[in-house]
Structure 1
Amino acid sequence: MTSHAYLDFLRAKMKVAPATGFDVDDADINPDLAPHCRAIVKWALQGGRRGIFAAFGLHKTSIQLELMRLIGKYVGGRRLIVLPLGVRHEFFDEARERFRGEFAIELRFVRRDDEVTDDDVIHIANYESVRDGKIDPRQFVAASLDEAAILRGYGTKTYQTFLPLFEGVRFKFVATATPSPNRTKELIHYAGFLQVMDTGQALTRFFQRNSEKANELTLYPHKEDEFWLWVNSWAVFLQSPADLGFPDDGYVLPKMTVNWHEVPTDHGAAGVDRDGQGLLINDPGASVVHAAREKRISLDARIGKMVELLAEAPDDHCVLWHHLEDERRAIEAAVPGVRSIFGSQDLEKNEANAVGFKNGEFQHLATKPEMSGAGSNFQKHCAWEIFAGIDAKFHDFIQAIYRVVRFGQKRECRIDIIYSEAERGTRRILEEKWAEHDRMMERMTEIIRKYGLGKLPLESVLKRSIGVERTVEQGEYFCIAHNDCVDEAIRTEAGSVGLIVTSIPFSNHYEYTASYNDFGHTDDNEHFWRQMDFLTPELFRILKPGRIYACHVKDRILFGNVTGAGLPTVSPFHAEAIFHGLKHGFDYCGMITVDTDVVTENNGNYRLGYTEMLKDGSKMGVGSPEYVLLFHKPQTDRTKGYADERVAKDREEYSLARWQLDAHAHWRSSGNRLLTREEWAQIPPRSVPKAFRAYSDATVYDHEEVVAIGEVLQSKDRLPTEYMALAPVSHSPWIWSDVVRMLTLNGSQSSRNVEKHICPLQFDIVDRLIDRYSNPGDVVYDPFGGLMTVPYRAIAKGRYGMASELNEVSFKDGLYYCREAEAKRNVPSLFDLMEAPSIEPSIDDLTSEAVR
């Protein structure tokens, strides 16, 4: 019964990178390029904005030069290649070697805008010149970032600067052999730069958040295939020309032997911690200070081991990698004739040393991975590297290794890695990241081998992702459906529902299923409300005239590194929900505010941190409450305020006392007496919230007194950091602050080790709404059923529960709860389980539970 318009909306959710480029004739592509390079050039120009993630030695340099040459021929205008320090010689060498005759090009290295004067040349600049504002990228029609892994760091100055600087450049490319050696989510930083998809949008589309820990994102398991197919629509991952169907003659990596060498450390020199306590062992992972201390402690042992290794092959050329200036000076003192590259060195001297070592003019080069790990090709005369130390920066580490382990290398490569006894954990981190990097590259290789360049079967992927096989389960007092909520609402009889209670998805904050029907699978708030435009009119249609649609919402927290604001801001999602309801014909009758625990919230997003408050209070907002929006479907007779079928109350059954509690919208807890500050300090931390509620209910609120209580608890180390102990209790009629936060079906879910429904409604909220806004026997409806909290409570309240749910696991669990409620059996809540006596179950108990 789903409309064609809704199906079209769902189909449009499958995002692929738009093609903004142009076609080129094969005859116009430089014949000196390898066949796989020619294929990539043609594909990248068709796309206009593409990522080239080709392994070391697969000619990314010549690909970028040819892209710039052909854009100049077909489109014209200024073109720019941005690259790391010390790499420009590679581009000049490549231009001389592969671009001759009618395909000849001219390169010009520029440091500032006044040196950019000619459209007929390809300009080359260092990242620093662009980042520091000396060169404006917007004057170029095309730009390519060489060794673009510099964009990986989302919050770095380079990334945050480059996005707005290059916005609007018509042709954009990124090229690197290590696009994401640490975390899969870093791939979307390239998509953001290329303007393939907004970075925040891509994060919410493909990655799930840990609601209890800020900034922890992992790829949705059910979105993995789609994610990699999406990446393949704008990026090429290439490990060998054979991946694109070309011969791999000459493109077989040399054998590599990795040797780890552990040297002892002096634990007696471990020092002290920040409190002045002596440390038993060195722990370089504890902090940057500890890592630097360990480097100093083990320096002599590591340099000694390096000299010992060099003596094993005294005639071989070798790169000596290090991280500290003290290490460089120690290497220079220990290795006669070594030449070094370092940051304060003149750029021409820096490049001369790199070119000299590349050409075999001297035997040993000492340099840092961050200085020479990108762009330089040392394989012609060198097949040996020694790392005089390690750190956890895997990107720099793997880049350094592949300065010699490259296509074109004729000898077996030897990699010696020296680390101290105290750095075993760092070694483990490097090895784990290396394995993850290999897995990711293998995953993309599978896709490129299967589909090729720009040939994804998007329609078949899409068809498998839309819709579910509708399942309906009924009982005496409920009817729930495993189905898309729009389709299910369309099937529901007009004017048949007495009350709608639901918690709508909070835009694209979470995805609950692998289906494109999922409302969480939207680009942004605007896209979400467009999908709600298909649902809300149906909710209006099925609701009885004059009845209430209660919509639970919460505002969205927007992080400063995504918005560019620099500080967390709030998206007023509840306000958008209000105007959305009005747009579809509902009357707006106000909202109930439900307080939340600000400490728990901060543990989930780190936006209200105490330490940040001390630094600058002007950046601090407040805790974000939840809201229940009350929408009213107009009654037939608008001259009177009564519903067509009134929700009337019996004076005997619905007392004045109960009404007052409902009107005030909060419940009061009891406590036996007031407590002194000393008594507060003796209460176990987990007992503080209940006692404080009783205290707050029984006394006039005194802000300074509450602060004093908190400070006493803090001084005794009894102020919890996992939850809010001294939560303010509201006495306002429109704020409910006494809702039991953990009393949800989610409680029993967690006890059964079943995946949690991310945003379950609390019993207290649902019960109050049902009592206040429906009659016994009414149909209470929830389009986003989840664990079926609403029909579960409706059954308990003598109503008829109806709901739909797209997630199959949640639907099946919700069915269990509805049947339990209908059988009048108590499903234990989390609090029930916490307070139950600890009794070992018998074999019979376990057997009966398994059968049930």
Structure 2
Amino acid sequence: MKDYSAFLAAKAIDDPSTGLTEWADLPACLFPHQSDIVAWALRRGRAALFAGTGLGKSLMELAWAQAIHDATGKDILHLAPLAVSNQMAREADKFGIGARVVAKQSDCEPGTNITNYQKLDHFDLSRFGGVILDESSILKSTDGKYRTALIESCQSIPFRLAATATPAPNDFMELGNHAEFLGVMSYTDMLATFFVHDGGSTQNWRLKGHAENEFWRWMASWAVMLRKPSDLGYANDGYDLPPLVYHQHTVSVEYAPSMETGMLFPIQAATLSERIAARRDSVVDRVAQAVAVTPTDRPFVWWCNLNSESEALAKAIPDAVEIRGSDDDKAKERKLIDFSEGRIRVLVTKPSICGFGMNWQHCADTGFVGLNDSFEQFYQAIRRFWRFGQTNPVNCHIIAAETEGATVANIRRKEADADRMAAAMVMHMADLSSAAVRGSTRDRPDYDPQVPVQLPAFLEIAA
């Protein structure tokens, strides 16, 4: 029996810890859940941190980097989205953690060096003992430029930390890419081990029924996921989100009965090309509606989908500043910092450009004058404002033409699906992660029914 137990233990799929066994005291500013997660990640050596917005990922990343440097003397490269680098450096300075923003290898100094992903080619990653990926959902695409470069360049780096608020809970490829970056298992091996392929599409994978528990146990061996501290058994004091209020604006469009289609009324777009055409045809009306609902006395961010929307809004709102994809990195960074520090009141841009990483709790009003079908971009854009630390109700305006079809409904459906799947992911992993992070399981209230069971009349037996 003992030999068989040893055999089963040897077959268990796990990634052993390769990190530190001891380190200097962590910064006193860390909350209990943050301190314990950092300690777990240090023990792990290579770990993923999937924590909701506002839970202190930046501080945890910086504390982890400082502890690695202090213990090993090795330098850390901290990669972040554009403009988040300076925000990260300000965060480090606020908490007395040594870190600096760098643009190339020769700028690096001992300790933590922060740069953005666009400058990855300017560094020799073999010269670093640790690397951090802030907003590590950049690993999402299996054939993406950054995904491939990061996995290949970081294979020999002993300490790796990946942190994001939004690992797509229904995108197992993204979870596999995180595992591969951390050196836990390649995503192809992950699929072969835990999943079965359905249908003719190579994207249709589902967990094997008998492997579900083993998959989540494996995930919890190298990743921790939480949406609020209580997911790991900590108090939620100070972690209350204010209300998020959606304001839907449907713009009517002029339409003349068509002899070609025989339709008296406009038909909603059904295909992607039809939705794009409907957006282009309604830009003027949607922009006019956006201008009408823009407040004049407080910060606001308009998210656009088309360049024509962005250009028209920037011209129509007197004090608006536009950030375009064609702006150089310095110009984008300067405008983002100016908005963060209150020198710009109204910002007009796209979620794909500025929707990741920034902390904008000083602003509680935002809107989408144009949407695409990406839930991740929608989620991330709103979470710049609706995050722990926000003290005001957040208002989100969504403007769409009546001919655009189900774009808004699709986004809201994906939002509900993602909430359910994230809750399921936390449910599966919470006790396992709590045991690893805290050395205990979550506290559960004892079942204490107070209301007696009452049988329905048709089940009652006559005396």
Whether TM exceeds 0.5 here: the answer is: yes
How far apart are 1:197 and its partner, in Å? 1.2
CA contact (8 A) 1:392 1:429 kept: yes
Equivalent residue for 2:221? Answer: 233
How far apart are 1:190 and its partner, in Å? 0.7
Higher relative contact order (CA 8 A, sep 6+): 2
Separation in structure 2 between the aligned mates of residue 341 and residue 108 of structure 1, nearest angstrom: 25
Choose which of 370, 373, 383 in structure 1 pairs with 2:355: 373
Equivalent residue for 1:737? Answer: none
Question: What are the Cα deviations for residues 62-103 of structure 1, in whole angstroms up to 9, with x where unaligned?
Answer: 11111111111101122101111121121111011112xxxx
Equivalent residue for 1:653? Answer: none
Matched residue count: 436
Choose which of 309, 313, 324 in structure 2 pairs with 1:331: 313
Does residue 113 in structure 1 map to residue 110 in structure 2?
Answer: no
Equivalent residue for 1:658? Answer: none
- Residues 318/12 of structure 1: CA separation in 2 closer, same or farther (3 Å cut): same
How far apart are 1:155 and its partner, in Å? 2.3
Residue pairs, 1:624-663, within 5 angstroms: none
CA contact (8 A) 2:232 2:431 kept: no
- Residues 455/346 of structure 1: CA separation in 2 closer, same or farther (3 Å cut): closer
Choose which of 150, 168, 173 in structure 2 pairs with 1:180: 168
TM-score by length of 1: 0.48
Choose which of 386, 395, 400 in structure 2 pairs with 1:414: 395
- Residues 452/209 of structure 1: CA separation in 2 closer, same or farther (3 Å cut): closer
CA contact (8 A) 2:194 2:215 kept: yes
Separation in structure 1 between the aligned mates of residue 263 and residue 188 of structure 2, nearest angstrom: 42
Residue pairs, 1:244-283, within 5 angstroms: 244-265=232-253
Does residue 213 in structure 1 map to residue 211 in structure 2?
Answer: no
Any runs of at least 4 consecutive aligned residues in structure 1 with deviations exceeding 6 A, and if so which?
Answer: 3-7, 267-270, 277-287
Separation in structure 2 between the aligned mates of residue 113 and residue 402 of structure 1, nearest angstrom: 32
CA contact (8 A) 1:263 1:302 kept: yes
Equivalent residue for 2:293? Answer: 309
How far apart are 1:141 and its partner, in Å? 0.8
Question: What are the Cα deviations for residues 628-676 of structure 1, in whole angstroms up to 9, with x where unaligned?
Answer: xxxxxxxxxxxxxxxxxxxxxxxxxxxxxxxxxxxxxxxxxxxxxxxxx
Separation in structure 2 between the aligned mates of residue 211 and residue 242 of structure 1, nearest angstrom: 39
Equivalent residue for 1:72? Answer: 69
Equivalent residue for 2:186? Answer: 198
Over the aligned positions, Cα root-mean-square deviation in angstroms equals 2.8
How far apart are 1:452 and its partner, in Å? 4.0
Choose which of 330, 335, 340 in structure 2 pairs with 1:353: 335
Separation in structure 1 between the aligned mates of residue 131 and residue 267 of structure 2, nearest angstrom: 44
Separation in structure 1 between the aligned mates of residue 137 and residue 409 of structure 2, nearest angstrom: 23
Separation in structure 1 between the aligned mates of residue 16 and residue 266 of structure 2, nearest angstrom: 52
How far apart are 1:351 and its partner, in Å? 2.3
- Residues 446/210 of structure 1: CA separation in 2 closer, same or farther (3 Å cut): closer
Give the share of equivalent positions with the same residue, in percent.
Answer: 33
Separation in structure 1 between the aligned mates of residue 217 and residue 199 of structure 2, nearest angstrom: 27
Equivalent residue for 2:53? Answer: 56
Equivalent residue for 2:119? Answer: 129
Choose which of 346, 365, 371 in structure 2 pairs with 1:390: 371
Does residue 297 in structure 1 map to residue 256 in structure 2?
Answer: no
How far apart are 1:216 and its partner, in Å? 1.6
How far apart are 1:10 and its partner, in Å? 4.7
Question: What are the Cα deviations for residues 403-423 of structure 1, in whole angstroms up to 9, with x where unaligned?
Answer: 100111111111111122233
Does residue 437 in structure 1 map to residue 427 in structure 2?
Answer: no
CA contact (8 A) 1:303 1:330 kept: yes
Amino acid across the alignment from 1:321:
W
How far apart are 1:315 and its partner, in Å? 1.8
How far apart are 1:195 and its partner, in Å? 1.0
Does residue 24 in structure 1 map to residue 6 in structure 2?
Answer: no
How far apart are 1:11 and its partner, in Å? 4.0
Separation in structure 1 between the aligned mates of residue 9 and residue 156 of structure 2, nearest angstrom: 28
Equivalent residue for 1:589? Answer: none
Query: What secondary structure sits across from 1:160 in the alignment?
Result: helix
CA contact (8 A) 1:113 1:135 kept: yes
Question: What are the Cα deviations for residues 734-774 of structure 1, in whole angstroms up to 9, with x where unaligned?
Answer: xxxxxxxxxxxxxxxxxxxxxxxxxxxxxxxxxxxxxxxxx
CA contact (8 A) 2:220 2:432 kept: no
- Residues 244/120 of structure 1: CA separation in 2 closer, same or farther (3 Å cut): same
Query: What secondary structure sits across from 2:282 in the alignment?
Result: helix
TM-score by length of 2: 0.86
- Residues 208/34 of structure 1: CA separation in 2 closer, same or farther (3 Å cut): same
Separation in structure 1 between the aligned mates of residue 58 and residue 412 of structure 2, nearest angstrom: 29
- Residues 375/406 of structure 1: CA separation in 2 closer, same or farther (3 Å cut): same
Amino acid across the alignment from 2:30:
L
Amino acid across the alignment from 1:167:
Q
How far apart are 1:208 and its partner, in Å? 1.6
Separation in structure 1 between the aligned mates of residue 308 and residue 93 of structure 2, nearest angstrom: 39
Question: What are the Cα deviations for residues 128-168 of structure 1, in whole angstroms up to 9, with x where unaligned?
Answer: 222xx332322211000001111112222222222112112
Amino acid across the alignment from 1:294:
A
Amino acid across the alignment from 1:180:
A
Amino acid across the alignment from 2:111:
V
Amino acid across the alignment from 2:292:
E
Separation in structure 2 between the aligned mates of residue 181 and residue 209 of structure 1, nearest angstrom: 18
Separation in structure 1 between the aligned mates of residue 235 and residue 390 of structure 2, nearest angstrom: 18
How far apart are 1:238 and its partner, in Å? 1.5
Equivalent residue for 1:142? Answer: 130
Quick check: which has more Rg, 1 or 2? 1
Residue pairs, 1:749-788, within 5 angstroms: none
Separation in structure 1 between the aligned mates of residue 272 and residue 436 of structure 2, nearest angstrom: 47
How far apart are 1:392 and its partner, in Å? 0.7
Separation in structure 2 between the aligned mates of residue 110 and residue 286 of structure 1, nearest angstrom: 47
CA contact (8 A) 1:50 1:174 kept: yes
- Residues 280/244 of structure 1: CA separation in 2 closer, same or farther (3 Å cut): same
